[in-house]
Amino acid sequence: MIKKIDVTQHTLAKEIYRVFQVSYRIEADILKAENFPPLQRTVLDLQESPTAFYGFYKAGQMAAVIEVKEEKDNTHIQSLVVDPDYFRQGIGKRLMDFVMEQNTNAIYTVETGVDNEPACSLYKSLGFIEVQQWDTSFGVRKIRFKKGSNKKTPV
C-alpha cells in the first residue's frame, strides 16, 4: 500500500529516517562515498522539508519511501529509498509509477550516482534518458535523468 506520509509527525519522520539510513548506507558503499550527504540528514531536516513523502507499506512496515519536489512544470524525485529487506520486489518501480500517475507535469527528473547501477537501470526502464553528468564536491560522479519534454501535447 502506498500512502502520503505526514512528516511533521515525529514517529513517522523517525521511520523515514530509518529507511533512509539503511538504504543510503548501501548506496554510499556502491558509490564508494565516505562523506555522503543523504546520510547526514536528520529527523528534523526531514520534518522541515517542503517536499512530499510517500511510503510503501508491506505487512504494516514502511518498506520504501519516495520524496517528491513539485515545481511548476517539473516533478523532481528528491529521494527513492527501499529498505534492503525489501530489495528486488519491484517496490521502487511501483513508487515511481505512483508518482508519475499522481503528478501531471510534463517533465520528471531524478538524480543518482553514475555507479548506482540498480537505480540507473530502474530509471532507464521507466523511459528516463540521461541528460547530464557531473562530479560532486563529495567525490561522487552523479547522473541526471529526465522523462518528458517542455513541449506540451496539443489537446
Task: In whole angstroms, give the CA distance from residue 69 to residue 75.
Answer: 6
| pLDDT recorded at residue 152 | 46
Stretch among 53-57, 79-83, 134-138 having the lowest mean pLDDT: 134-138
> Given the DSSP bridges, would you call strands 61-70 and 52-58 parallel, antiparallel or unpaired?
antiparallel
More confidently predicted of 151 and 107: 107
Res. 155 pLDDT band, cuts 50 70 90: very low
Task: In whole angstroms, give the CA distance from residue 91 to residue 103.
Answer: 18
pTM: 0.91
Show the CA angle centred on residue 54, arms to residues 49 and 60, nearest 5°.
Answer: 125
Identity of the residue numbered 138: F
Condensed to tens digits (0 to 9), the pLDDT of residues 73-105 reads 899 999 999 999 999 999 999 999 999 998 776
Grid cell in block for residue 39: 546520510
